[in-house]
Structure 1
Amino acid sequence: MKAVGFRTSLPIANAASFIDIDIDKPIPAAHDLLVKVSAVSVNPVDFKIRQNSAKDTVLEQPKIIGWDAVGVVEAVGNAVTLFNVGDLVYYAGDITRPGSNAEYQVIDERIVGRKPGTLSDEAAAAMPLTALTAWEILFDRMRLSPERDRNKTLLIIGGAGGVGSIAIQLAKTLLGLHVIATASRPETIDWCKKMGADLVVNHRNLVDEVRNAGFQQVDYIVDFVDTNAYWDAMAELIKPQGHIASITGSAAPVVLNKLKNKSVSFSWEFMYTRSTFQTDDMIEQHHILNRVADLLDEGVLETTLTQTLHGLKADTLKQAHAQLESGTTIGKLVITF
């Protein structure tokens, strides 16, 4: 089968940063689906892994990445109970296994959902990773609920990106929060408003921006950009007994002491935790994806697709990664096969 991968970590402008390869079609294990992939989306995790997973080495076997896909189930393992051959599915994948930049992929059924019936393949492919990340950070890590938190304030740092775009929608439609999103360009400001943000502020001089908008402090903050770059601002803006959560990690220690006197909680969110550690509740991602599919089909949520490229080939992946690495992407970029 055709696939796109890499043998060493190179700048995206390098001709060998991605290579076209031909490999054997994978065989599904007990709980696996064999999916014929029709569309994938590209996320920041893709280029970060490409840049860092094969530094100063040349892999014997090319590494295939990609963690968003839509496709049709072609075969199933002998323990599969959730899907049948011919089902249309979407999923974000498992960072410990080969990715979706290939004609076929095997994937554990417990982290797969039914494809939203009203969406095209490309519109659906934009959603799994970001929807799972946003859902988990709001509901599983911060444990927000409409009964307790309706009309409270949520500051989303990085509102126009893939995760921010769906987090705005979930926070508004399911939780009833007052959403303040950050953006700086006219087009990203407009996008955040389109997604449902009540207020958009500039991420530069964040404390002043939020306070000049009439909010001395906010109940909750989620960071989708850079934990340490915004740490002091978040610690200043969060209300006592509030909650901050982030997906971005940190190469340097996070100064949690800044939250102590306010008794503020802090959480990390990593969408691959459940699949990486085969947690007892791994099947929750199946349920979340099905719930998101329902909300998309009902029109409660909308796809965050903004750009589509075509073709499973190295040149297409190079173009997609170059776009994401520019830091100017709004919403999600998808590749159809």
Structure 2
Amino acid sequence: MSDVMPAVGYRRNLPITDPESLVDAESPVPAPGPNDLLVRVEAVSVNPVDVKLRAGRDPDGELKVLGFDAAGVVVAVGERVTRFAVGDEVYYAGSIGRPGSNARFHAVDEHVVGHKPASLTFAEAAALPLTTITAWEALFDRFALTKQSAGTLLVLGAAGGVGSMAVQLARELTDLTVIGTASRPESREWVTGLGAHRVVDHRDLVDAVRAVAPAGVDYLISPFTAGNIERYAEIVRPGGHIVAIDEPEGLDLLPLKAKSISWHWEFMFTRPLFLPADPAQHQLLEESARMVDAGRLRTTMTIELGPINAENLRRAHGLVEGSSAIGKVVVAGF
């Protein structure tokens, strides 16, 4: 193995239409730490967090490699690794505190890695980790739902990456009535196909939700919170719960107080950053892989580009920035 590898990164905050917004480069092959796997990356997917970091975190001229979702093959393991061996096919979402996965080789802590679903290609698997972890933690850590949980769940942006997984997981692992929001015919069809009981148009959120859930909803997942708190206060039942996965500026939650509505944050990098030895993300990725292979969950990949280079990652970032893509955009192959 060479000491250097191809990687894609950025050195300046530039519009994605600028050829220098993401560039091809060479980077040193990382050495795995004691708990790390060294993975030969075969596919990655792009998430809104990649777009936000590229646009907002200035690397001051140094090469910054982005990328979280990845699927690939283990080529080396650290001395303390117990769950994986060389040759294992894996999928994971990494950590915001480490170099990204948009490179030929990537070092990642085994605590946040799962064995790739055997029934999926690397590209199909790379679509899943970050959004699966986010949706799982929102439902089962933040809302504390169980198989016996009933009531109504509203998933905003249900055709997006997180929404697509939240709908599937809620249908499979709870007894909730699931309502998804989508506006275009193709996105409504996608959300229905994932198992949502009802699909409503977010452009008239209050009236649309009241039409299908006159008493309101018990749980709400919000990827687009800005300007919506007063609407949420109208459609969430007293004592209900909201999970937000975005970070709107100047957020005022006071409209939720009268109904004692609980507010939760979901940030899937909390465990890698603050609880590095917690195996919960490994365990949920393992369970999700079993569910995929049993036909109970499906990949959310809808667009596959390739190979992994700056040109194709710029295309993928552009699609994600447009906020109209259904499911996930994946870039595969070197």
- Over the matched positions of the two proteins, sequence identity in percent amounts to 47
Specify the code of the residue in structure 1 equivalent to 2:291.
L
Q: CA deviation at 1:170?
A: 0.6
SS in 2 for 1:16: coil
Q: Which of 31, 34, 40 is matched with 2:35 structurally?
A: 31
Indicate yes or no: 2:263 matched with 1:261.
no
1:64-83 equivalences in 2 (<5 Å): 64-83=65-84
What residue in structure 2 maps to residue 300 of structure 1?
A: 296
Q: Distance in 1 between matches of 2:257 and 2:309?
A: 50
Indicate yes or no: 2:84 matched with 1:86.
no
Indicate yes or no: 2:172 matched with 1:165.
no
**CA-to-aligned-CA distance 1:163-207 (integer Å, 9 cap, x gap):** 000100111111121111111111111111011111111101211
Does structure 2 conserve the Cα–Cα contact (< 8 Å) formed by 1:210 and 1:216?
Answer: no
Indicate yes or no: 2:328 matched with 1:328.
no
Q: CA deviation at 1:279?
A: 4.9
Does structure 2 conserve the Cα–Cα contact (< 8 Å) formed by 1:228 and 1:254?
Answer: no
What residue in structure 1 maps to residue 282 of structure 2?
A: 286
**CA-to-aligned-CA distance 1:111-162 (integer Å, 9 cap, x gap):** 0000001111111111000000000000001101122x23x11111110000
Specify the code of the residue in structure 2 equivalent to 1:240.
P
What residue in structure 1 maps to residue 53 of structure 2?
A: 49
Q: CA deviation at 1:265?
A: 1.1
Does structure 1 conserve the Cα–Cα contact (< 8 Å) formed by 2:90 and 2:116?
Answer: yes
Q: Distance in 2 between matches of 1:163 and 1:229?
A: 20
SS in 2 for 1:33: strand
Does structure 2 conserve the Cα–Cα contact (< 8 Å) formed by 1:30 and 1:80?
Answer: yes
Q: CA deviation at 1:214?
A: 4.6
Q: Distance in 1 between matches of 2:323 and 2:257?
A: 33
Does structure 1 conserve the Cα–Cα contact (< 8 Å) formed by 2:138 and 2:266?
Answer: yes
Q: Distance in 1 between matches of 2:268 and 2:213?
A: 34
SS in 2 for 1:204: helix
Does structure 2 conserve the Cα–Cα contact (< 8 Å) formed by 1:40 and 1:68?
Answer: yes
What residue in structure 2 maps to residue 185 of structure 1?
A: 184
SS in 1 for 2:178: strand
Does structure 1 conserve the Cα–Cα contact (< 8 Å) formed by 2:305 and 2:330?
Answer: yes
Q: Distance in 2 between matches of 1:222 and 1:302?
A: 20
Indicate yes or no: 2:278 matched with 1:274.
no
Q: Distance in 2 between matches of 1:86 and 1:254?
A: 50
Specify the code of the residue in structure 2 equivalent to 1:155.
L
Q: Distance in 1 between matches of 2:19 and 2:127?
A: 27
What residue in structure 2 maps to residue 58 of structure 1?
A: 60
What residue in structure 2 maps to residue 223 of structure 1?
A: 222
Are the structure 2 counterparts of residues 102 and 11 from structure 1 closer, same or farther at C-alpha, using a change threshold of 3 Å?
same
Does structure 2 conserve the Cα–Cα contact (< 8 Å) formed by 1:90 and 1:115?
Answer: yes
Does structure 2 conserve the Cα–Cα contact (< 8 Å) formed by 1:146 and 1:176?
Answer: yes
Q: CA deviation at 1:287?
A: 0.4
Q: Provide structure 1 residue ranges, at least 5 long, that are not aligned to the other structure.
A: none
Q: Distance in 2 between matches of 1:302 and 1:58?
A: 40
SS in 2 for 1:143: coil
Q: Distance in 1 between matches of 2:134 and 2:40?
A: 24
Q: Distance in 2 between matches of 1:166 and 1:211?
A: 24
Q: Distance in 2 between matches of 1:131 and 1:13?
A: 29
Q: Which of 236, 242, 245 is matched with 1:244 structurally?
A: 242
Does structure 1 conserve the Cα–Cα contact (< 8 Å) formed by 2:111 and 2:276?
Answer: no
* Range with greater deviation from structure 2 (14-23 or 215-224): 215-224
Specify the code of the residue in structure 2 equivalent to 1:23.
S
Q: Distance in 2 between matches of 1:213 and 1:140?
A: 27
Q: Distance in 1 between matches of 2:262 and 2:213?
A: 24
Q: Normalising by structure 1, report the TM-score.
A: 0.95
> How many equivalent pairs are there?
329
**CA-to-aligned-CA distance 1:22-58 (integer Å, 9 cap, x gap):** 121110011010000000111111111000011xx63
Q: Distance in 2 between matches of 1:279 and 1:116?
A: 24
Question: RMSD of the TM alignment (CA)?
Answer: 1.1
Q: Normalising by structure 2, report the TM-score.
A: 0.96
Does structure 1 conserve the Cα–Cα contact (< 8 Å) formed by 2:44 and 2:123?
Answer: yes
Are the structure 2 counterparts of residues 214 and 112 from structure 1 closer, same or farther at C-alpha, using a change threshold of 3 Å?
closer
Specify the code of the residue in structure 2 equivalent to 1:316.
N
1:209-220 equivalences in 2 (<5 Å): 209-220=208-219
Indicate yes or no: 2:10 matched with 1:12.
no
